[in-house]
Amino acid sequence: MSETMKAKTVSGSRDDGAAGLNAFERDQIRRRAHAIWWEEGCPQGRDRELWARAELEVLKTRPHM
């Protein structure tokens, strides 16, 4: 995992859309981003791209109110 992604997941704060998410959703996104990173061969410098992809995947399953 890139150092940037590690720092962002450890701190638990993201400045690119995580506002309004509950702790469970943030954890799901973090886990999915890590899985995508692993599946892609642990690429460096793509942390924001992979995080955004994980957010989209997780939020697609969010129930609409």
Helix axes 47-60 and 23-39, enclosed angle (nearest 10): 130
Q: Is the pLDDT of residue 53 over 70?
A: yes
Higher pLDDT, 14 or 22: 22
Measure the CA–CA gap between 24 and 58, rounded to whole angstroms: 11
HSE, CB side, 13 Å, CA atoms: give it for residue 43.
12
Domain ranges of the chain: 3-9+21-60
Helix axes 3-11 and 23-39, enclosed angle (nearest 10): 160
Q: Is the pLDDT of residue 52 over 50?
A: yes
pTM higher than the cut 0.85: no
Q: Give the model confidence (pLDDT) of 22-50 as tens digits.
A: 999 999 999 999 999 999 999 999 999 99
Measure the CA–CA gap between 60 and 43, rounded to whole angstroms: 24
For residues 3-20, average pLDDT: 51
